[in-house]
């Protein structure tokens, strides 16, 4: 077949491709097209049935139409999921950012957010109008009107970037509870995988430069642990469980967020550092029949 490298839109598509190029990901370096699977504006997608939490999701069209896929994931911590690997990559990376109808309830934001009509809550007493939330918003859904901030709920992607960058904790996304969010990740991953024939997807998990934050964030920290290697296989649950076990059992590095929180060798690194355990979404994926949590590591 003819390969291509893809992701889905997080920021404006042309800026996202520029960031990829700055990081050395372009047709000249990888030897094939580099594209945005849900289109330049994040709204090229196909509706696919999901589970009881999400109902249905919009799978990026280039992923939906692809006959096979290699899921390449950088493994790290995540403020909501506790761990970001292949399952999170499938869920957040395989589902489109927008829908042409403007309904966010089938897009990536629905994985994050509950069904509240108002996307965000803002505490005006805490807000200093620093406008960091306004500048980080990928859809320009936040605007300033005098001493107030106004959110366009139809434009909002429910990505949560505004909440993450607010230094005062003045803005909050109307999020799902932790357990429901983790289950929703597994549902979305299952929906994406349902578009492929059995045996047509393989997984490569890069447990290198294991950061405490998601790669969406424009920052880097001392890795939590030493590089643990690259984990590969055809069973997404087994690959995830092996990766998660290896990271959690590693020795925390000095000057890392894990060391700052006093995490000791023998404690589970990611949940002790972040206060959120990533194991439930791996468990949920296993319960949905996506794979087995039993694995055997073969070093090559």
220 pLDDT above the threshold of 80: yes
Q: Report the distance separating Cα 157 and Cα 173, nearest Å.
A: 11
| Percentage of the chain modeled with pLDDT above 90 | 75
Q: How many Cβ atoms are within 10 Å of 1's Cβ, its own excluded?
A: 6
Give the helix ranges, DSSP H, for the chain: 13-22, 27-30, 61-65, 86-94, 108-112, 132-136, 161-165, 178-193, 236-248, 257-260, 269-274, 279-287
Q: Are 76 and 210 in contact (CB under 8 A)?
A: yes
What secondary structure letter does DSSP report for 176?
P
Confidence grade of residue 72 (pLDDT, cut at 50, 70, 90): very high
Q: Which of 64, 101, 72 is nearest to 88 (CA)?
A: 72
Structural domains in the chain plus CATH codes: 41-109+178-287 (no CATH), 116-173 (3.30.70.20)
Q: Which of 24, 58, 23 is nearest to 38 (CA)?
A: 58
Q: What angle do CA 109, 203, 106 make, to 5 degrees?
A: 20
Tens of pLDDT, residues 141-162 = 999 999 899 999 888 888 888 9
Using DSSP's 3-state secondary structure scheme, residue 104 falls into helix
| Structure token digits, residue 71 | 């899921």
CA dihedral 72, 165, 219, 84 (to 10 degrees): -30
| Percentage of the chain modeled with pLDDT above 70 | 98
The mean per-residue pLDDT over the stretch 262-268 comes to 96
Q: Are 245 and 278 in contact (CB under 8 A)?
A: no
Q: Report the distance separating Cα 187 and Cα 192, nearest Å.
A: 9
Lowest-confidence segment of 46-60, 104-118, 160-174 by average pLDDT: 104-118
Q: How many Cβ atoms are within 10 Å of 8's Cβ, its own excluded?
A: 26
pTM: 0.91
Lowest-confidence segment of 6-15, 123-132, 272-281 by average pLDDT: 6-15
Tens of pLDDT, residues 157-205 = 888 889 989 999 999 988 888 899 999 999 999 999 999 999 999 999 9
39 pLDDT above the threshold of 70: yes
pLDDT of residue 115: 66
Q: Which of 68, 61, 69 is nearest to 43 (CA)?
A: 61
């Amino acid at each position: 077949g003819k390969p291509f490298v893809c992701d889905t839109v997080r920021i404006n598509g042309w800026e996202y491709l520029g960031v990829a190029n700055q990081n050395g990901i372009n047709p000249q370096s990888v030897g094939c097209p580099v594209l945005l699977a849900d289109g330049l504006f994040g709204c090229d997608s196909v509706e696919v049935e999901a589970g009881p939490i999400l109902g249905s999701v919009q799978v990026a069209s280039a992923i939906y139409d692809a006959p096979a896929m290699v899921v390449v994931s950088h493994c790290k911590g995540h403020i909501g999921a506790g761990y970001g690997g292949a399952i999170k990559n499938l869920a957040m990376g395989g589902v489109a950012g927008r829908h042409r109808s403007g309904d966010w309830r089938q897009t990536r934001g629905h994985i994050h957010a509950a069904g509240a009509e108002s996307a965000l809550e803002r505490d005006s007493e805490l807000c200093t109008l620093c406008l960091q939330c306004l500048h980080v918003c990928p859809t320009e859904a936040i605007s300033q009107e005098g001493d107030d901030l106004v959110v366009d709920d139809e434009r909002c992607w429910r990505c949560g970037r505004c909440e993450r960058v607010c230094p005062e904790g003045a803005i909050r996304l109307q999020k799902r509870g932790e357990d429901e969010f983790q289950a929703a990740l597994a549902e979305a991953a299952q929906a994406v995988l349902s578009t492929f024939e059995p045996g047509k997807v393989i997984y490569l998990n890069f447990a290198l430069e294991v950061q405490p934050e998601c790669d969406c964030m424009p920052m880097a920290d001392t890795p939590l642990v030493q590089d643990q290697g690259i984990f590969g296989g055809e069973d997404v649950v087994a690959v995830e469980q092996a990766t998660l076990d290896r990271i959690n059992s590693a020795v925390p590095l000095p000057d890392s967020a894990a060391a700052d929180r006093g995490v000791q060798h023998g404690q589970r690194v990611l949940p002790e550092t972040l206060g959120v355990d990533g194991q439930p979404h791996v468990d949920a994926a296993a319960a949905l029949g996506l794979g087995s949590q039993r694995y055997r590591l073969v070093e090559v």
